[in-house]
Structure 1
Amino acid sequence: MIMVGGVHFPSSTLGCAKLAAFYVNSWWGTSATTSIFVAAAITDWLDGYLARKMRLGTVFGAFLDPVADKLMVAATLVLLCSRPPGIPLLRDVPWLFPVPAIAIIGREITMSAVREWAASQDTKLLQAVAVNNLGKWKTATQMTALTILVATRDSSLAGSATLATSGVALLYVSAGLAFWSLAVYMRKIWKVLSK
């Protein structure tokens, strides 16, 4: 979330600028897209940190912030699926990138639905789906992988093929963490429901 004049805007409001810059075929398009993505990720983290530290969190902010995060990640994944980094690995195995993208987006939609359902039930269920450290690691690996992948679309970047390959590998790690955290949440829900 970004605060402007006392009004909160999701970090994904930078999405239109990111979308326009993403399809510019030059080094500055890639640089602008990467900068916008990093700025959105940093302001989102900073806003959450300050809200917790200064106890300025609101119910609306707690609801909207994860939605903005998921939108930013999903939009970036879709953009990258439409124009992935031009590395031999992704040319030879075209399904390699969409697999973790679909897994991550599917997990995010599932968790949003589960959290919405838990909020309509009772406090114990809502506590069972509260963000945990595994979810934070998942987000950190996603943001790092996506930053690498967006930045390495500029083939003039030294070592871009190696970096992009590591970005894809990190995206698979993130997808694994996403499903692991989903399993942890479902196990917690099952414990609450079976009592």
Structure 2
Amino acid sequence: MTIQSCSVFCGSRSGYSARYTEDARSLGTALAQNNITLIYGGGQAGLMGSVADATLQAGGNVKGIIPSFLEARELLHEGVTDLEITEDMPSRKAKLFDLADAYIILPGGFGTFDEFSEILVNRQLGLHDKPIIILNTDRWAISLIETLDTAIKQGFAEKHAHDFYHVAPDVSSLIKQLNNF
């Protein structure tokens, strides 16, 4: 399977580490260089804006999907290749999930956790078999990974649930993982 598009879930804020923005920009550049369309939440702020800007600057395609009530709050990114405004969050998420060949998780907050949890559960239920890759910038995802491991060790998820997602320490490793699917 050739990956042609990725939904990237990440913060509408940049976080405290400059490394988060650097990796978001590196990912955007790498997606463009590998002819992979970025699909993301449509905002201009935070890591979302950074990954979109870098993809565009490197000549890549970007599809933004944003619900109407977030247009002003997340500073709608009017420079994307294709912008779609949805009625609400569930329809936004459905499009982010359906249109992608793979999912990438960058540092983010509660919205990012929500999106990750839903695609992970959908993978567990057999509703998709698309790659899910967590970019562990500055060990951002360590607690998340430990929580997932605990759920597996305590019998709340199948022993092979580790196979539902992958962790990449850097953008280069992440792109290699995408190319190997």
| Short-chain TM bin | under 0.3
Give the number of the structure whose residues are more often strand, by fraction.
2
TM-score scaled by length of structure 1: 0.23
TM-score scaled by length of structure 2: 0.24
Give the number of the structure whose residues are more often helix, by fraction.
1
Q: Rg larger in 1 or in 2? A: 1
